[in-house]
Amino acid sequence: MSLPIDSKGLTKEMVSPKSMNTIKKTNETTEGSSEDQQELMKELRSLILAPEQKDLSNLKERLDNPEIYAQETSKILPRAINLSLEQDNGLTEVLQPTVEKAIKISVKKDPSTLVEALFPVMGPAIRRAIAQALSSMVQTLNQTMENSLSIQGLKWRLESIRTGRSFAEIVMLNTLLYRVEQIFLVHKETGLLLQHLISPALLGKGNEIQDADMVSGMFTAIQDFVRDSFGVKNESLEELQVGELTVWIEQGPQAFLAGVLRGTAPKELRPIFQETLEKIHLETKKELTTFQGDASVFENIRPLLEVCLQSQYEIKNQEQKTAPALLLATGILGFLLLSWLSYSLWHYWHWQNYLTLLNNEPGIAITRIDKEGGKYFVSGLHDPLAKDPEELRKEAGLNENKVISRWEPYQAIKPKFVLARAKTFLQPPETVILRLEGDTLFASGSASNGWIKDAKKYSRLILGINSFKEEKLVNLDLKELEENKKLIEKETLLFINDKTDFVAGQEKNLNKIFEALQKFTQTADLLNKKVQIEIFGQTDSSGTTERNSILSQERADKIVAILIDRGLNAKYFTSKGIGTGNALTNQINSPQNNETSRRVTFRISLIDSDTKNK
């Protein structure tokens, strides 16, 4: 098979000169032997594809060689982890089970590794928890000791004030006498002595240890003996008693601390030993791990160990000559204490009296009571209608500088406050009496129609009132309307015989009736009353029945026309001629009353507009 290649179709940038020569040879030998062609084609492929084949080989090696792939992955893995944490918590959730499983396996295999890593952190955390638990106990002890008024107790109290320490702590320091005489720091694995300190009080007195290394080895041997004899592999010796001396031992991962004490040391000394050992492990972790017997590298930790050389001595009694001064000081202190106690009790009594007055006063609700910095704090709710809390404070005799109060306004639903608010809001006239029963406001007496209407409308806006009853309340406007109705119905207009003309002097009476009707209709409209005025015309018995009927109607119509012409609304009026009858008594007029029978009378009806609409 031949592969014709045109050298003219390739540029210099595409192939090298050597490749171009090979291509030319290939073209020249296209018609040659098959073996020559294959050899030339092989050479041509090698020249053209060699760089790409080299890159492919390198890429394959990177993928197949775990070491190369691991090195390249380690370069980008931290960055990938940071990006994953910035985006979400997916990586944390995936790794959590693996990390938890790894910790469990590590603890089961060798718990000492985790213990050594957490040792510097666990100690302070445990001591803080214990300190908080003992805090309440110390406070209780402090309160108990405060009741002591002995001379020794007063001396300790003065020392507490002077030093700034709590009273209970001063008592402990004066009753628990001890001295730390020596401190040993021993390497745990080798049992070799790293550092040894002796109390300055023992120096030069023949109490120095001649061979401290032997003592440190003894501590290690004793601990190993105890573990082997009693089968407690993971337990450590914490305390030894040697005559009057006590040895406290604090264990660490790579070293332990042994303190030789004389007397009874307080428990507060243990945390000092623990903190010292923890600091040593933090500062010399590398030296402890790689220790080969040279203890000179631990000289710089001597200041840390010197903290453990503590002591407490008994305070000697003062000479007899100081007793009078002490008694005088005690007397003055007792007097001041008694004065302060009396002053505090006096204020406390007035404070309690003030609280009693506030609690007994309706319209005042206390929500907070406190005392701080020698002052009393009180806050709550105060109804404006209740008594002023400031007046109650003065009544209780409490100094205004001792009380800080804050009152928020509110409305109490006490009956007397609800009734007082109703009177203030509704402003009833003097003729009205208001009383409250439950949540219903009752009104009695007399009032105008306008006030009654407003009271019905606005009484429910008052807190504590749900309904308003006015059955026993007289409506003055309605009463006046009824009285005017009766007066108008008593009026009559007289006429000349057989005519519709008035008798002399009736014009004045007509004007009076008009004014009364005008006022009456206006008042009725305000009271939402519908007015119906019936005007009846009458005659005497001298004429015929037919004539009397016509004449009586004409007289009634004339009065209606006059009243309408003067401005009254026609809707109010109806006219009716009744001849010689009497519209009010339904009786026939007698001949003796003929003169007064020639008249017009009025009858008025009042109807509620709401009732008519219904």
**CA–CA distance, 582 with 538 (Å, rounded to integer):** 7
CA angle at 173 for the pair 170 and 174, rounded to the nearest 5°: 90
Amino acid letter at 399?
Answer: N
Dump the DSSP string for 138-183: HHHHHHHHTT--SHHHHHHHHHHHHH---HHHHHHHHHS-EEEEEE
Q: Per-residue confidence at 459, pLDDT binned at 50, 70, 90?
A: confident
Tell whether the model's pLDDT for residue 369 goes beyond 80: yes
Region for 259 from its dihedrals, namely left if φ exceeds 0, alpha if ψ lies in -120 to 50, beta otherwise: beta
Please give the pLDDT value at position 125. 56
Tell whether the model's pLDDT for residue 198 goes beyond 50: yes
Q: Measuring CA to CA, which residue among 170, 166, 219 is closest to residue 194? A: 219
The mean pLDDT of 488-502, rounded to a whole number, is 89
Tell whether the model's pLDDT for residue 442 goes beyond 70: yes
Q: Per-residue confidence at 208, pLDDT binned at 50, 70, 90?
A: low
Q: Measuring CA to CA, which residue among 53, 50, 17 is closest to residue 25? A: 17
Give the strand pairing for 529-537 and 573-577. parallel
Q: Per-residue confidence at 5, pLDDT binned at 50, 70, 90?
A: very low
> What domains appear along the chain, each with residue ranges and CATH number?
7-64 (no CATH), 119-202+211-312 (3.30.450.70), 325-409 (no CATH), 415-477 (3.30.1340.30), 491-613 (3.30.1330.60)
Higher pLDDT, 495 or 55: 495
**CA–CA distance, 338 with 378 (Å, rounded to integer):** 27
Q: Measuring CA to CA, which residue among 492, 427, 420 is closest to residue 454? A: 427
Tell whether the model's pLDDT for residue 68 goes beyond 60: yes
Q: Per-residue confidence at 397, pLDDT binned at 50, 70, 90?
A: confident
**CA–CA distance, 150 with 316 (Å, rounded to integer):** 16
Give the strand pairing for 364-372 and 375-382. antiparallel
The mean pLDDT of 565-585, rounded to a whole number, is 83
Indicate the average pLDDT of the chain. Answer: 77
Contacts of 334 (CB under 8 A, 6+ apart): 149
DSSP 380: E
Please give the pLDDT value at position 354. 86
Higher pLDDT, 233 or 589: 233
Amino acid letter at 165?
Answer: R
Please give the pLDDT value at position 10. 43
CB atoms within 10 A of CB 268: 14
SS3 state at 56: helix
The mean pLDDT of 141-158, rounded to a whole number, is 59
Higher pLDDT, 560 or 141: 560
CB atoms within 10 A of CB 516: 16
Contacts of 357 (CB under 8 A, 6+ apart): 392, 395, 396
CA angle at 498 for the pair 493 and 502, rounded to the nearest 5°: 30
Contacts of 170 (CB under 8 A, 6+ apart): 156, 157, 159, 160, 163
Please give the pLDDT value at position 565. 92
Evaluate whether 197 touches 309 at the Cβ level (below 8 Å). Answer: yes
**CA–CA distance, 606 with 524 (Å, rounded to integer):** 8
Q: What percent of the chain has pLDDT over 90?
A: 7
**CA–CA distance, 604 with 531 (Å, rounded to integer):** 7
Task: List the beta bridge partners of residue 532.
Answer: 605
Region for 293 from its dihedrals, namely left if φ exceeds 0, alpha if ψ lies in -120 to 50, beta otherwise: left
- DSSP H helices, 506-544, are 506-526
The mean pLDDT of 71-78, rounded to a whole number, is 76
Tell whether the model's pLDDT for residue 119 goes beyond 90: no
Q: Measuring CA to CA, which residue among 379, 402, 401, 374 is closest to residue 389? A: 379
Please give the pLDDT value at position 209. 58
Q: Per-residue confidence at 394, pLDDT binned at 50, 70, 90?
A: confident
Evaluate whether 381 touches 355 at the Cβ level (below 8 Å). Answer: no
Query: 601 vs 272, 333, 496, 605, CA distance in Å?
Result: 121, 107, 15, 14
SS3 state at 555: helix
Higher pLDDT, 100 or 498: 498
Please give the pLDDT value at position 303. 87
Query: 114 vs 108, 118, 194, 285, CA distance in Å?
Result: 11, 6, 24, 15
Tell whether the model's pLDDT for residue 59 goes beyond 80: no
178-195 residue pLDDT tens: 888 888 888 888 888 888
Tell whether the model's pLDDT for residue 400 goes beyond 70: yes
**CA–CA distance, 293 with 298 (Å, rounded to integer):** 11
pTM score: 0.37
Amino acid letter at 99?
Answer: V
Contacts of 262 (CB under 8 A, 6+ apart): 178, 179, 181, 244, 245, 246
Please give the pLDDT value at position 117. 65
DSSP 307: T
Amino acid letter at 444?
Answer: S
Phi, psi for residue 427 in degrees, rounded to 5: 50, 65
523-563 residue pLDDT tens: 888 888 889 999 999 998 888 889 999 999 999 999 999 99
Amino acid letter at 355?
Answer: L
Tell whether the model's pLDDT for residue 86 goes beyond 90: no
Please give the pLDDT value at position 246. 86
The mean pLDDT of 586-594, rounded to a whole number, is 50
Q: Per-residue confidence at 128, pLDDT binned at 50, 70, 90?
A: low
Give the strand pairing for 178-187 and 193-198. antiparallel
DSSP 387: P
| Structure token pair of residue 428 | 């009833």
Please give the pLDDT value at position 134. 52
Q: Per-residue confidence at 599, pLDDT binned at 50, 70, 90?
A: very high
Higher pLDDT, 537 or 76: 537
**CA–CA distance, 274 with 338 (Å, rounded to integer):** 45
Q: Per-residue confidence at 576, pLDDT binned at 50, 70, 90?
A: very high
Please give the pLDDT value at position 189. 82
Amino acid letter at 387?
Answer: K
DSSP 315: P
Please give the pLDDT value at position 601. 92
- Quick one: how far is CA 436 from the chain centroid? 39
Please give the pLDDT value at position 317. 46
Evaluate whether 600 touches 493 at the Cβ level (below 8 Å). Answer: yes
